[in-house]
Chain A
Amino acid sequence: MSLGPLLFAQPFALLGLLALPIIWWLLRATPPEPQSAELPSLALMEDLDPREETPDKTPWWIIALRFAAAALAILGFARPSIMPEISAVATAGPVMIVIDDGWTSAPRWREISRTAISAADDAAEDGLGVQLLFTAPKEIPAEPSDLMQANDARRQIQSARPVPWMPDRSAALELIRQGDQRPARIIWVSDGMNHGQARDFMAGLKALAPLEIRPFAPRGAYAISEARFSPDGALVSVRRTRSDTELEATISAESREGAAIASADAVFAKDDLTTQVQFKLPSAALNRVARFRILGVEGAGAVWLWDDAAQAPTIALADPIDNPQPLLEEFYYVRKALADDARLIEGPLSEMLDARPDAIILGDRSDLTGELADKLSAWIEEGGALIRFAGPLLAANGDEFTPTPLRPAARALGGALAWDDPQTIAAFPAESPFNGLSPPEDALVRRQVLAQPQPDLDRYTWARLADGTPLVTAATRGRGAVILFHVTANTDWSDLPYSGVFPQLLTRSAISGAMGGSRRTDTGGSLAPIRILNGLGAMTQPPATAKPIPTEEFATALPSPTTMPGLYAGPQGSRSLNVGTLSPDIIGQWPAGVTVIEDAASAQRKGLDSWLIGGALLLLLIDAIVALAVSGRLAGLTSRAAMMVATVMFGGMLMTPPEALADDMTPKQREAALELRFAYVQTGDSRRDETARAGLMGLSYQLYRRSSVEPADPHMVVLGEDELELYPMIYYSPPRGSAPLTDKQVQALNDYMRSGGALVIDTADATPGVAPAQRLQSILQGLNAPPLRPAPDDHVLTRSFYLIDAFPGRLGSQPLWIESTAVSTEAQRGDGVSRLFIGSVDWAGAWAVDDDYEPMFPMSGDENQREMAYRFGVNLVMYVLTGNYKEDQVHLPALLERLDEEAEMDESNASGNRVRTLIDDQDTPAPQEDRGP
């Protein structure tokens, strides 16, 4: 059924429109369901009137939305389509559709195939027969097909795929001429490319019948025309069809498995049809590259197969001399330097010459004469790069294989009898292939051979020392080159082999020859296909029709049905046959009298059903969102979505390298982490803070003088903000009437003590005979502390460094409260080491010193107590730092003594079967001496 240009494939579906009024009625009846919630405190709201209630009817625009969705869906199911009128010429004979199916058609193959189908449909609508002809050559030469119906034509076009070679239009034209059916009209669905025969082809077609051309030239970059080895990696040339704009295309280097190894952007300037992309890849990575590909472009031309011949240079190490000490071996550093960047082969020079490598590296030798010299000479002329290293032998007897004549002696620098210091290497000259590398600053050259001075020596110099004498010289011979390093290959004469640029110097030298091009001339045998490229640019198994190519013909072979593009295996490794080498230009001019419909994709039939149904789905989606928003559930959804986003971002953060995390440390944290230091809590009372700081300074100073604990200056910490874990001991002197700690601060202190930190709380308000209980109750609120009790007289605090009998501070002596678990043996936590110390005698006041390390405050009472206060401080720090180690140490002499006795008894009474008795704490004397002054 058709309505003007509108055509309905399933007109009966339109009956569904009759159902719309019923849908209307249903939609009006159901408002969205509210969410339900329980809330006991709603009792508070009993008498309150809600300000706005949702109307019990669905809003009109929701109805309109749903109604439109239903109508669109029904129209969509009727499968309407629009038929544009484009065929201007009305004809009354068979229509021939000529289709280009070479690799240049691949980028826009879908459009070509759709246009061809559409043209076939048009012909069928007019009741005309259709003939199809594909221009690309096939294994079995195609002839113009018989007249066929639209359905057959459609099937044949749909099953056709572009082939990975070029169309042969003259052959196609010949076929049409020979055919027995005369077409009344020819439609050429073209790839828009010239291929060298377009003009003749069009003229030929036009002579046969009215010609209509629908060209689909590839847009943008469509082919890689070349890829070759370069000093830094690979150089890839890319082509495009039109040069009127700037353009960027992404080229990716893929491994054999198809994984991307690297990618680079090809940038076309305006008016450029070709551009080059430099891939900076280390040779190890380059050797894994199997092909280059223009991302997002289909077609055999968008893929460049990268074969062995194109890969890393082959370098031969000639006549290696075995040395039992590998580090002294001549080629040790050369081998290390080239291991990743080249394929190394080793053996006698004559064999190496037969292997025809890119470069040969010769050590220090002077026996290049006779037949071997001739052979070497021939190899260099042919394009080989000979890299030589100097040495005592070469210095003594020069030969012809040096870039310039050498002076018959070596120059020593920096010896006992030499004037000069060892020289560094100067910046590489601009014309040298080493230009761009940075010379090693710390590599010294101690000895070298010297070139005979001659006027054009600079021309041969690739690298020189700081004083201007050549270090690397090179000369071209024929197509090849001779490169001489004026030092030894090992480190006898210079540090050069140690330096980081040594590998690059060698690789750049090695590719300076021209062997790379000539190596392709393999000889003998044939190359068998391993993988074949199909027209769309995918690697496939070779079909039965793919044949081996004789090696001699390989270099000149063009992609064709008999020589398919792809990867071939030969005696010298894999070789590739690429289609992009011959990338054609587009057809610039159309002949007169020909109908050309550029961008003919518009000529297709346009189905509207997918648009209509898509629109209906979109409306339903909007409706769902609206329904969620009305019932208030959208917020929940969005918060969940936000959480997912946050999770993803968090995952990303985890992936960031650890250096980044370390950089997050503040300078203060770094200081605290790097050196042992104590901290005091900021109380907000500047006088107290200052006292605490001076007190910890004084204590640190005394520790430094008296013990091996050498703390740095104390830090002030803000509870809940600073990282407390970095400090072994934190001193907290809360002012009278200070506000209770906040939850966050309490949490910080709890975490600190749990992770093993020691918290010293000093209320500094001692009154004789009164326990600090009441005030501490408020301080300790929420603090994770077990019951406290005064430290007993025999606690390890009294003997961890000095033997003391009290814990005095500025305000005299008062009991020190510690965790009761650190006293009794049952229910110990933290190895029975107290993590909390509470007192009230203002220890910091007693310890405090000014900048000259003089006491800041007078003691309230005997001034000698200050010394005792310091001794307590030292003991406290020892206890905090060593835990229960000192407690165990106290018993050590007694244990040793007991062990001695046992040993003696065992000797005297070997069969004595005794039970070892445990030593009771109380019986053990405290054997530690008073170490105080």
Chain B
Amino acid sequence: MRTSLPTLKAEAEALAAAAPRLSPRAGEASAAHPGAAGRRRAGTGEDFWQYRNYNAEDGSTRIDWRRSARGDRLFVRETELETARSFLFWIDPSPGFHWRSSPTTSTKADRAAILFMAFASQLARAGERCGALGGPRNPVNGQRAPMRMAEDLWGLEGASAFPKPNKDPATVLIASDFYTPLEDWRSRLTELAGRNRYGALLAIADPAEAEYPFEGRVRFSLPGAKTSRLIGRAENIRSDYLERFNQRRQDLSDIAAELGWRLITHKTNDAPSPVLAQLNALVLEAAN
């Protein structure tokens, strides 16, 4: 059912390699502080943050003599705290998400995994930390990070419940089809957004779901469920269906707007590269 991760990884690498990057510092040594981002408070880091008065607890070596020499008081030079950012990913493990309408497209979950791994490998190259939301391991950086993230996500299979929010703030990316009741999603996401300023919802749909190409007598069933439903003339409910489908997209976009997150929609028969570009924009947003 689930495609093996190395296969997906190969696709993700190809996707990441083809994605446009404009890195002015390409080729230059930027490995000293991988993924460092200012945290807007004093701490360990490179950049100047503030001068403050010397306290008795401070060691004498910390005194900034150049500044202190200009007056009578002693000053300590503080730098801005720099830590790597974390990105947490989650892919819906429900059987409906691991589904495709025809063998020519990939399943929605596979597509999400490819996109996330491609994105994570770009992040990892920039020194950010990546991990699975609710996964057993903490986010890490480095080359192994995308694979670890994907392994953790694929390991979520049994646990269908939505994971508990993370403890440390991070940028959260949620991939699902968002077909379960809207109120569930609203409460889950509100809770997540309470901790995480930045996040994105990746709503992936199969072309069959987006276009509803059914006609005649059709016995519909939910993947993974035993019950089925017989529709006498499937084309009759087409307009209702499409209306609801678009309404769900609209609701999701409203929720995302409330949370200050982004909603990215995608169909599995479309090219994945534009989505990656949108995810990249998320990084820029988080960085500013």
Residues of A within 8 A of B208 (CB): 39
Is the CB–CB distance between A781 and B22 below 8 Å?
A: no
Instruction: Please judge, given known A-B contacts A41-B245, A43-B96, A781-B20, whether A32 and B217 are in contact too, CB under 8 Å.
Output: yes
In the assembly, what is the distance between CA of A36 and CA of B27, in Å?
Answer: 56
Contact pick for A631, options B97, B217, B229, CB 8 Å:
B217
Instruction: Please judge, given known A-B contacts A50-B231, A630-B217, A635-B215, whether A40 and B179 are in contact too, CB under 8 Å.
Output: yes
Q: Judge if B10 is at the interface, Cβ distance under 8 Å.
A: no
Q: Judge if A787 is at the interface, Cβ distance under 8 Å.
A: yes
Partner-contacting stretch, out of B45-53, B74-82, B161-169, B219-227: B219-227
Shortest CB-to-CB span from B189 to chain A, Å, is: 18
Interface residue ranges of B206-221 to A (CB < 8 Å): 206, 208-209, 214-221
Name the residue on A nearest B96 (C-beta).
A40
Is the CB–CB distance between A52 and B233 below 8 Å?
A: yes
Is the CB–CB distance between B23 and A54 below 8 Å?
A: no
Q: Judge if A739 is at the interface, Cβ distance under 8 Å.
A: no
Q: Pick the most buried of A37, A44, A773: most chain B CB atoms within 10 A of its CB.
A: A44
Is the CB–CB distance between B26 and A632 below 8 Å?
A: no
Interface residue ranges of A623-652 to B (CB < 8 Å): 629-633, 635
Is the CB–CB distance between B22 and A34 below 8 Å?
A: no
Name the residue on B nearest A50 (C-beta).
B231
In the assembly, what is the distance between CA of A675 and CA of B288, in Å?
Answer: 49
Is the CB–CB distance between B20 and A54 below 8 Å?
A: no
Is the CB–CB distance between B245 and A35 below 8 Å?
A: no
Is the CB–CB distance between B223 and A40 below 8 Å?
A: yes
Name the residue on B nearest A817 (C-beta).
B22
In the assembly, what is the distance between CA of A342 and CA of B97, in Å?
Answer: 80
Interface residue ranges of A22-71 to B (CB < 8 Å): 32, 34-45, 48, 50-54
Is the CB–CB distance between B99 and A35 below 8 Å?
A: no
In the assembly, what is the distance between CA of A36 and CA of B18, in Å?
Answer: 39
Residues of B within 8 A of A632 (CB): 214-218, 234
In the assembly, what is the distance between CA of A48 and CA of B241, in Å?
Answer: 9
Is the CB–CB distance between B219 and A45 below 8 Å?
A: no
Q: Judge if A666 is at the interface, Cβ distance under 8 Å.
A: no
In the assembly, what is the distance between CA of A51 and CA of B236, in Å?
Answer: 7
In the assembly, what is the distance between CA of A54 and CA of B214, in Å?
Answer: 15
Is the CB–CB distance between A40 and B27 below 8 Å?
A: no
Q: Judge if A374 is at the interface, Cβ distance under 8 Å.
A: no
Is the CB–CB distance between B20 and A34 below 8 Å?
A: no
In the assembly, what is the distance between CA of A777 and CA of B245, in Å?
Answer: 32
Instruction: Please judge, given known A-B contacts A36-B219, A39-B208, A820-B27, whether A780 and B177 are in contact too, CB under 8 Å.
Output: no
Shortest CB-to-CB span from A768 to chain B, Å, is: 16
Shortest CB-to-CB span from A239 to chain B, Å, is: 60
Residues of B within 8 A of A53 (CB): 230-232
Q: Judge if B7 is at the interface, Cβ distance under 8 Å.
A: no
Is the CB–CB distance between B180 and A43 below 8 Å?
A: yes
Residues of B within 8 A of A40 (CB): 96-97, 99, 177, 179, 206, 209, 222-223
Q: Judge if A437 is at the interface, Cβ distance under 8 Å.
A: no
Is the CB–CB distance between B215 and A50 below 8 Å?
A: no
Name the residue on B nearest A634 (C-beta).
B216
- Size class of the contact patch on chain B: 35 or more
Q: Judge if B237 is at the interface, Cβ distance under 8 Å.
A: yes
Q: Judge if A550 is at the interface, Cβ distance under 8 Å.
A: no
Interface residue ranges of A781-834 to B (CB < 8 Å): 781-785, 787-789, 820, 824
Is the CB–CB distance between A35 and B216 below 8 Å?
A: yes
Contact pick for B22, options A52, A782, A787, CB 8 Å:
A787
Q: Judge if B62 is at the interface, Cβ distance under 8 Å.
A: no
Residues of A within 8 A of B280 (CB): 777
Residues of A within 8 A of B216 (CB): 34-35, 629-633, 635
In the assembly, what is the distance between CA of A790 and CA of B94, in Å?
Answer: 48
Is the CB–CB distance between B217 and A54 below 8 Å?
A: yes
In the assembly, what is the distance between CA of A785 and CA of B219, in Å?
Answer: 47
Residues of A within 8 A of B233 (CB): 50-52, 54
Residues of B within 8 A of A38 (CB): 99, 101, 220-223
Name the residue on A nearest B18 (C-beta).
A784
Residues of A within 8 A of B221 (CB): 36-39, 42
In the assembly, what is the distance between CA of A35 and CA of B215, in Å?
Answer: 10
Contact pick for B273, options A48, A633, A782, CB 8 Å:
A782
Contact pick for A787, options B26, B101, B214, B230, CB 8 Å:
B26
Is the CB–CB distance between A45 and B244 below 8 Å?
A: yes
Contact pick for B20, options A32, A43, A782, CB 8 Å:
A782
Q: Judge if B274 is at the interface, Cβ distance under 8 Å.
A: yes
In the assembly, what is the distance between CA of A299 and CA of B278, in Å?
Answer: 79
Q: Judge if B267 is at the interface, Cβ distance under 8 Å.
A: no
Q: Judge if B277 is at the interface, Cβ distance under 8 Å.
A: yes
In the assembly, what is the distance between CA of A783 and CA of B237, in Å?
Answer: 40
Residues of A within 8 A of B26 (CB): 787-789, 820
Name the residue on A nearest B243 (C-beta).
A44
Q: Judge if B228 is at the interface, Cβ distance under 8 Å.
A: yes
Q: Judge if B112 is at the interface, Cβ distance under 8 Å.
A: no
In the assembly, what is the distance between CA of A45 and CA of B217, in Å?
Answer: 17
Q: Judge if B137 is at the interface, Cβ distance under 8 Å.
A: no
Q: Judge if B271 is at the interface, Cβ distance under 8 Å.
A: yes
Residues of B within 8 A of A743 (CB): 271, 274
Q: Judge if A203 is at the interface, Cβ distance under 8 Å.
A: no
Shortest CB-to-CB span from B244 to chain A, Å, is: 5
Instruction: Please judge, given known A-B contacts A44-B179, A51-B236, whether A783 and B99 are in contact too, CB under 8 Å.
Output: no
Shortest CB-to-CB span from A535 to chain B, Å, is: 58
Interface residue ranges of B76-118 to A (CB < 8 Å): 96-97, 99, 101
Is the CB–CB distance between B22 and A39 below 8 Å?
A: no
Q: Judge if B63 is at the interface, Cβ distance under 8 Å.
A: no
Shortest CB-to-CB span from A250 to chain B, Å, is: 46
Q: Judge if B33 is at the interface, Cβ distance under 8 Å.
A: no
Q: Judge if B240 is at the interface, Cβ distance under 8 Å.
A: yes
Residues of B within 8 A of A777 (CB): 20, 22, 280-281, 284
Residues of A within 8 A of B158 (CB): none
Interface residue ranges of A317-370 to B (CB < 8 Å): none
Q: Judge if B24 is at the interface, Cβ distance under 8 Å.
A: yes
In the assembly, what is the distance between CA of A495 and CA of B246, in Å?
Answer: 82
Residues of A within 8 A of B27 (CB): 789, 820, 824
Shortest CB-to-CB span from A224 to chain B, Å, is: 58
Is the CB–CB distance between A773 and B220 below 8 Å?
A: no
Q: Judge if A771 is at the interface, Cβ distance under 8 Å.
A: yes
Is the CB–CB distance between A45 and B18 below 8 Å?
A: no
Q: Pick the most buried of A40, A42, A44: most chain B CB atoms within 10 A of its CB.
A: A40
In the assembly, what is the distance between CA of A635 and CA of B222, in Å?
Answer: 24
Residues of B within 8 A of A773 (CB): 22, 24
Is the CB–CB distance between A44 and B220 below 8 Å?
A: no
Shortest CB-to-CB span from A702 to chain B, Å, is: 31
Is the CB–CB distance between B222 and A42 below 8 Å?
A: yes
Q: Judge if A919 is at the interface, Cβ distance under 8 Å.
A: no
Shortest CB-to-CB span from A483 to chain B, Å, is: 75
Residues of A within 8 A of B96 (CB): 40, 43
Name the residue on A nearest B21 (C-beta).
A787
Q: Judge if B12 is at the interface, Cβ distance under 8 Å.
A: no
Q: Judge if A621 is at the interface, Cβ distance under 8 Å.
A: no
Is the CB–CB distance between A52 and B232 below 8 Å?
A: yes
Q: Judge if A260 is at the interface, Cβ distance under 8 Å.
A: no
Q: Judge if B205 is at the interface, Cβ distance under 8 Å.
A: yes
Q: Judge if A776 is at the interface, Cβ distance under 8 Å.
A: yes
| Residue interface bits B246-288, CB-to-A below 8 A is 1, else 0 | 0010000000000000000000000101100100110010000
In the assembly, what is the distance between CA of A51 and CA of B235, in Å?
Answer: 10
Name the residue on B nearest A785 (C-beta).
B20
Name the residue on A nearest B221 (C-beta).
A38
Is the CB–CB distance between B20 and A45 below 8 Å?
A: no
Interface residue ranges of A749-789 to B (CB < 8 Å): 771, 773, 776-777, 780-785, 787-789
A to B CB contacts below 8 Å, 14 in the list = A34-B219, A36-B220, A39-B208, A39-B222, A44-B179, A52-B232, A630-B216, A630-B217, A743-B274, A773-B22, A784-B20, A785-B20, A789-B26, A820-B26
Known A40-B96, A42-B229, A45-B244; further 4 A-B contacts with Cβ < 8 A = A37-B219, A45-B241, A632-B214, A785-B20
Counting from the closest, the 9 A-B pairs by CB-CB distance are: A632-B216, A40-B96, A34-B217, A53-B232, A54-B232, A41-B209, A632-B215, A36-B219, A780-B20
